[in-house]
Amino acid sequence: MPDQQTSPRRRRPLAALRSWPRWARVSSYVAAGLVLVLLAGVVTVGVLLRRPLPEWSGTAELPGLEAEVEVVRDEHGVPQVYADSLTDLVQAQGYVHAQERFFEMDVRRHATAGRLAEMFGEAALDSDRAVRTMGWRRVAERELAIVAPRTRQVLEAYADGVNAYLHQRSPSQLAVEYTVLNGSGLGYRAEDWSPVDSLAWLKAMAWDLRGNMGDEVERALTAAAVGERRAEQLWPAYPFDEHAPIVDGGAVVDGVFEPEATTGGTRLPQRPAWRGDTGWSKALRSVRDALDAVPSWLGRGDGIGSNSWVVDGEHSATGAPLLANDPHLGVSMPGVWMQMGLHCRTVSEACPMEVAGFTFSGVPGVVIGHNADIAWGFTNLGPDVADLYLERVVGDGFRYDGDVLPLRTRTETIEVRGADPVTIEVRATAHGPLLSDVDDDLAAVGKATGEELAVALAWTALQPSATADAILAMNTATDWDSFREAAASFAVPAQNLVYADRAGHIGYQAPGMVPIRKSGNDGRWPAEGWRPEDDWSGETVPFAGLPHVLDPEEGFVVTANQAVVGPDYPYALTQDWDRGYRAQRIRDLLVEEGELSVAEMLELQLDDRNPMAATLVPYLLDIDLPRGYASAGQRLLDGWDGSQSADSAAAAYYNVVWRTLLEHTFHDELPEDVWPDGGQRWFAVVSGLLREPADPWWDDVTTEDVVERRDDVLRSALLEARDELTRLQSRHPEDWSWGALHTLELRSPSLGESGIGPVEALVNRGPWEVGGGSSTVDATAWDAAAGYAVTSAPSMRMVVSLADLDDSRWINLTGVSGHPASGHYTDQTDLWARGETIAWPFSREAVEAAGEDVLRLVPGEDD
């Protein structure tokens, strides 16, 4: 049977379908290791697979503890940690994270330090060059000096816990991946964990959620191909009259956002910085290559988003608030989250934590979840916090305001497995590092011609901040005021924060470091670095001026990456919002339901109604097709309500039509690297074009003496989709299913992309047939330029009941364990794919009732 992800007609190179860069496919080293492992025999392989599995019960020594710590695990291996002091608690958290996820933590810290080539060789050099150029770890080192003393204490205690586990185990006892890698002679032993390793992970999180940097590049490359006017057509404005923002109302008065105010300051003037110069395409493509070379730990692309909403007691069947969250991130093995509870046996100022939720392995504390008093959720706010500056470099300087100013330079040496070290020169202008320098060929051309066309990166995450303080402060917040105080430190990545507490309040807060630009730069296009009016002003939007609301009159708050606030808001946050299809659907369903239970909140997370279907399907049904075979698929759409369950034949046909429509409309004029992915932005684009049957986009410029119109493209899409599904699934439309096309595969970002079947089978899992789709509430996104496979998805789902915290529910995309031989590697994935959740015990009584294994960590002697 032909490949069900990409038809032969549209097949693209395998690398284009991978979300992970070339370094992840290190076949030579992995192959050597695999041969050695397989020669040992099947029995030995089983032993090697199980050797890294941690102890879940009994007693283990943890040097540095002040007193005994208990780790109680339920049937899914979810740990709940109990201690008498804060340092003991987070030290145990580090120990448990290392037990389950150390290889993931280790690869990630190599990536964030620009040291992947040490493990994976020359294939990782592009990633290391980009990260070293930006200097992620250098920024993290500076952040360690500015975080609060208690945060530094927590980071150090967490690192002590990780290191205690490392010192007790050989590489083969830490992860089977080390056995495979060392089988080829790597001789790798893990370095001690450090507080900076934890802070550097926050840079990776900020990188994946960095806002519209990709849009800046795509706009410029699109304008180079079709002109600025037609490029603007492909980025429609946010439809405020159709999709409500998060905070509907309010105004900034004297620098302070007042939710009840109706008038405020004047919007700061902005005008585009782009002047239509298309000579920068090569430099911008080099930047795009640099962006793509960096590993994506959370995911990237139009499908990366999230849902979170909260309802008050009047809209809840429990009489108290309910809060839901399901972040939509890239799919990988293991998933990015690890569930955990952190409990001080006696809560006090000295030991203030009583919290449970979703953690990042490598970072202390809980990122999303609830404590005994409040609950919170995140979605990506997506402000424009990064700008690309076009720079004219002359020798050792760069042009600025009629002068030539000196570049800042430093050298970095990258160790490379199996090859000589590589030394790079990192150059920076006043705006930031020259990201285009990652492309050696581009820099060489510039130096030969006397003037380089380079691109610098200005990004708030390259400025040290105290985001780590915010995570810990949220864990211990007890009310709205202390929660907002914690949020004020959450600098990057800027997130939409939804809030609920056991006193019955609900709220929303926008935090983050958002630059204020001068009037020459609106952030949508690459800026001209030699023009002072295109600079940032040096100030950021004050926290007091960021939108927030407590106990809104309508009784709920919905955030799904839509516009945060209306167009009269005086500060420019961004113009590249998600266009609000998911958000409006959630709002409509909340209003329709009126009063929700925990089960109904969970059901809403699974809503799979395609928001584009109601617009497009009537046009498709108006196309006259021959009866019989040709129109059999079209007939499925008559009466279809747009729902996209995994077993839906109509959804299968519709989405193949959609993908084909995009191909016929845009591929003839747009460069391949900006072909439509088919997500929410393209819903808005095509909705506008459908009303213009003679718009030039409908015409195929490759056909001579023929001018295609809208209905020609729709007809071709309907007919070709019928043929494609016949090839991929069946001649009989009743046998088609969306899930057979739209599959979820969970792949390890390192060995899982090796290209060697047995190794990939060891660490990868799937496929699962799933429903949903791009910009549905159940947001299992796919890339129409590549195939139908899931590229991002709800990385977890949770609903917190503030009436009874033990009645809350949660589920992870994968299990808590990163060990392929563990029963908790993907034990939650089947449940996730069926839309089910598991119990989320919080009280000591509930945790003990659910507990199946208890590990006691006791003080021990240092080695």
pLDDT in tens, 256-306: 999 988 765 545 445 554 554 556 788 888 888 888 888 776 666 666 789
Tokens of 637: 């759409």
Report the C-alpha gap between 724 and 648 in whole angstroms.
16
pLDDT exceeds cutoff 70 at 439:
yes
Confidence of residue 45 (pLDDT cuts 50, 70, 90): low
Question: What is the average per-residue pLDDT within 49-58?
Answer: 95
**pLDDT mean over 158-180:** 95
235 pLDDT above the threshold of 50? yes
| Confidence label for 11 from pLDDT (cuts 50, 70 and 90) | very low
Mean pLDDT within 841-854: 98
- pLDDT at res. 14: 28
Burial of 414 per CB tally in 10 Å (0-12, 13-18, 19+)? buried
Question: Which of 262-271, 360-369, 604-613, 820-829 has the least mean pLDDT?
Answer: 262-271
Tokens of 5: 């992800």
Q: Where are the alpha helices (DSSP H) in 434-487?
A: 440-449, 467-476, 480-487
* Maximum CA extent, the chain: 84
**Amino acid letter, 43:** V
State residue 531's pLDDT score: 93
Q: Confidence band (pLDDT; 50, 70, 90) for 816?
A: very high
Separation of alpha carbons 795 and 582, rounded Å: 16
**Cis preceding linkage at 767, omega within 30:** yes
The Cα–Cα gap between 632 and 639 comes to: 14
Q: Is residue 371 a contact partner of residue 476, using CB atoms and an 8 Å limit?
A: yes
pLDDT for 729: 98
3-state secondary structure of 193: coil
Asked if pLDDT for residue 562 goes beyond 50, the answer is yes
> pLDDT tier at 23 (50, 70, 90 boundaries)?
low
Residues 709-751: tens digit of each pLDDT:
999 999 999 999 999 999 999 999 999 999 999 999 999 988 8
Predicted TM-score (pTM) of this structure: 0.94
Helices (H), 51-148: 86-112, 117-120, 125-134, 136-144
pLDDT value at residue 180: 85
Contact present, 201 and 360 (Cβ < 8 Å): yes
pLDDT tens for each residue of 441-472: 555 444 545 688 999 999 999 999 999 999 99
754: Cα separation from own chain's centroid: 23
Query: What single letter denotes the amino acid at residue 231?
Result: A
- What is the pLDDT at residue 284? 86
* 30 — pLDDT class (breaks 50, 70, 90): low
| More confident position, 240 or 442 | 240
pLDDT at residue 5, rounded to an integer: 35
State the pLDDT confidence band at 21, using cuts at 50, 70 and 90: low
3-class SS of residue 511: coil
How far is the CA of 556 from the CAs of 105, 409, 551, 586, 591, in angstroms? 37, 51, 8, 11, 9
Question: What's the mean pLDDT in 422-444?
Answer: 86
Mean pLDDT of 193-208: 91
DSSP 643: B
**pLDDT digit string, tens, across residues 649-681:** 999 999 999 999 999 999 999 999 999 999 999
Residues 88-132 pLDDT 10s: 999 999 999 999 999 999 999 999 999 999 998 898 999 999 999
Lowest-pLDDT range, 103-107, 515-519, 688-692, 776-780?
A: 515-519
- Yes or no: say if 312 and 556 are a contact pair by the CB < 8 Å rule: yes
Q: What is residue 13's predicted lDDT score, i.e. its pLDDT?
A: 28
Average pLDDT over residues 828-834: 97
**Which pLDDT score is estimated for 15?**
32
Percent of the chain with pLDDT over 90: 78
pLDDT in tens, 565-588: 999 999 999 999 999 999 999 999
Q: What's the rounded Cα separation, in Å, for the pair 647 and 649?
A: 6
